[in-house]
Amino acid sequence: MENTGLRVLDYWFSACKTILPSVLALLITSCFHEQNNVQLETYNNPIVKQRADPWIYKHNNGLYYFIATASEFDRIEIRSAPGINGLGQAVAKTIWRKHEAVPMAGPIWAPELHYIDGSWYIYFAAGKFGDPPRIRMYVLSNESADPMQGRWTERGQLVTARDSFSLDATTFEHRGIRYLVWAQRDQERKYNSALYIARMTSPTTIEGPEVMLSEPDLPWEVIGYKVNEGPAVLIKNNRIFLTYSASATDHNYAMGLLWADADADIMNPHSWHKSLEPVFATNAAVNRFGPGHNCFTVAEDGVTDVLVYHARDYRKIEGNPLFDPNRDARARIIQWTADGWPDFNPLQGD
């Protein structure tokens, strides 16, 4: 019996001598691979010049599709590339142009590209300037497998209960229900825009109630304009994170954060919490001025979260900052804290 026990011990010692070096090598290789990924997943900013309100959709065909506000405010264009860094060199295809007259005249703002139930949809704002401006949300759709091919069909206005200034529609699905989040002016015109949420009955229609999630009530949200706009949703770590932008579109423009537990009733405004300070803002040390109107995508590894946003590389602007064309699209890796919160401010030079 004693000899048998010794033989068993000898076997395990021998096995450990053989296996442990392989396990250590695997761990070292894995760590190196992860470090290598971080190096590969840095982006050549700006990724696309003179394109504000950027939106990137990574499709199941492996391509990244990029759509944004053209600096001329007169058209919607799409470009694609197998990697984010390739989008700046990709040829942009114009898929729709503004009408000469309202309601779908310029300015054409903040288009977003979504793939829903086998079809493509673009949500965007159109209308006219004025006092008050006649800006509303509209939808295009395309049944082609590739959004740069096929025919885009005008689906009309995305109608809300209040007929007022509205823009920046985004959509997401949570636990089998599709939602729309957008920015809209209140009837009393106390502020330029607040954020609302509603359930969707189809990709082009919503149903009541329409619930206000956030209004510009913090000092950093009301510089120049009283604005909450540009919502974007990221669901992770059992939370729904909703970023948005606030204040005028100069160096004061910045990103805020709302969040709710994934198990909460997200149609209840009390389920949502709001950061008291911006989570991403101007940083002159890295020539980042007025970052905002972001979206989220995933890196080339299919796992790493990426923040996409626009910013200028200078502070001083002549005239109305809205018409300064040099808001460039940028991208950066999102870091996550140990307790599952996004950190938008790691030491990256963008």
Catalytic residue among 41, 53, 328, 350: 53
For residue 148, give the DSSP letter: T
Nearest residue to 233 via CA among 299, 300, 297, 166 = 297
Active site residue 229: yes
314: its two tokens: 């200078």
H helical segments located in 114-265: none
The token pair that represents 117 in the structure block? 């139930």
Whether the upstream peptide bond of residue 346 has omega within 30° of 0, thus cis, is no
Q: Using the CB atoms, write b or e for 175-209: b if 16+ within 10 Å.
A: eeebbbbbbbbbeeeebbbbbbbbbbeebbebeee
Reduced to 3 states (helix: H, G, I; strand: E, B; else coil), residue 266 is coil
Q: How many CA atoms lie within 13 A of 41 on its CB side?
A: 21
Strands (E) located in 203-341: 205-214, 228-236, 239-246, 254-261, 273-274, 289-298, 305-312, 328-333, 335-336
What is the C-alpha to C-alpha distance for residues 207 and 180, in angstroms, rounded to an integer?
10
Nearest CA to 293 out of 173, 217, 195, 147 is that of: 195
Q: How far apart are alpha carbons 111 and 51 in whole angstroms?
A: 11
Give the residue ranges of DSSP H helices in 86-210.
Answer: none
Distance from C-alpha of 166 to C-alpha of 184, rounded to nearest angstrom:
4
Which of the residues 229, 250, 324, 328 is marked catalytic?
229
Catalytic residues: 53, 229
